[in-house]
Amino acid sequence: MKHIIIITAILSGFLMGQKSQLKNVKVLPFKTKREIVTFMKTIVAPELGVKCNFCHNMNDYSSDEKDNKIVAREMMDMVQQSNKTMNELNFHEISCWVCHQGNKHPEHPPKEK
Ligand code: HEC
Ligand code: HEC
């Protein structure tokens, strides 16, 4: 019994520690650093064809000093809003890929001649 209490205490301390690791997350639903890093590595970076430093100061991921990060936050918000509609329609959710397809700056259609 004593052990269980100790383990529970360690675990909850660990989880709370994780929670407080995220300093400046305003749009994404993640609570832990592990979740947000997985999302960044598997969705955001490959779908735009960039590395972390495209948006981040590598010494402080919470810093908003790069314009690309500010734009990306708005894009994440846009994707979340769009997915409410997609869910209502019972369609697949969209992500950055739908428009970016591995490019940091999606092409606009050529102007009509
Ligand atoms: C296209 C831009 C972009 C790229 C590339 C990107 N991130 Fe992010 N990252 C963001 C944005 C925007 C936020 C804040 C999201 C919010 O406010 O909800 C964020 C938040 C984070 C945070 C939370 C920091 C905190 O405590 O506030 C971590 C950690 C992080 N990113 C890690 C990474 C890693 C690791 C990579 C590379 C694999 C990466 N990011 C690539 C845009 C990006
Ligand atoms: C509905 C289409 C669409 C979706 C979805 C989308 N984007 Fe974009 N994004 C664009 C377009 C179009 C541009 C270029 C804007 C322009 O200059 O016309 C852009 C530009 C950007 C830029 C600025 C790049 C630069 O070179 O200036 C960043 C950063 C970005 N998007 C991040 C994201 C991220 C991260 C996601 C996923 C969370 C995302 N976008 C989802 C359409 C989209």
The CB of 40 under 6 Å from ligand 2? The reply is: no
With the most atoms of ligand 1 within 8 angstroms of its CB, the residue from 28, 36, 78 to mutate is 36
Distances (CA, A) of 6 to 3, 15, 18, 33: 5, 14, 18, 24
| pLDDT number for residue 44 | 97
CA–CA distance, 18 with 40 (Å, rounded to integer) = 17
CA–CA distance, 42 with 112 (Å, rounded to integer) = 36
What confidence tens digit (pLDDT) does each residue in 47-58 have? Answer: 999 999 999 999
Chain mean pLDDT for the chain: 89
| pLDDT number for residue 18 | 47
